[in-house]
Amino acid sequence: MNAVTASLQDDLVSVSTALCLCLCAAGLFVNAQKQQALQLGQKILAWVANHPEATAGQVARAVGRSTPTAQVGLDRLTKEGFLSRRELHGGVRRYSLPA
C-alpha cells in the first residue's frame, strides 16, 4: 500500500466516523425533543385535571410555556382523546378531562 492509498483510507475512516457521530447526535436530539413533548403533555394533563375548564393561556402560565406552545400540546392531547375541548363565544376554548 502506498502513501496515497493509506491517506485516502484514513480520510474515509475519518469521514465515516464523523458521519456516525452526526447521526448519533441527531438521534439524541430527536429523542430529547420527544421526551420534552411527553413531559409537557404530562404537566398539561396534571394541571387540567385539577383545573377543569382551563384556557390555553391559563395552562401556558401554569406549565411555564408560551401560549402557542401550550396550545400545540393541548391540541395534541385533545386529538389523542386525553382532553376534551369546549368552544365558547368569541372563540375561547376551555379544556377538561373527558367525562
- Say how far apart CA 32 and CA 11 lie, in whole Å: 31
> For 35-86, how does the pLDDT look when each residue is reduced to its tens digit (9 = 90+)?
777 788 999 999 999 999 999 999 999 999 999 999 999 999 999 999 999 9
> For 16-42, how does the pLDDT look when each residue is reduced to its tens digit (9 = 90+)?
565 565 555 566 555 667 777 778 899
Integer CA distances (angstroms), 78 to 11, 33, 40, 60, in order: 51, 20, 14, 16
Domains located in the chain, CATH noted: 3-96 (1.10.10.10)
State residue 22's pLDDT score.
Answer: 58
State residue 21's pLDDT score.
Answer: 58
State residue 16's pLDDT score.
Answer: 58
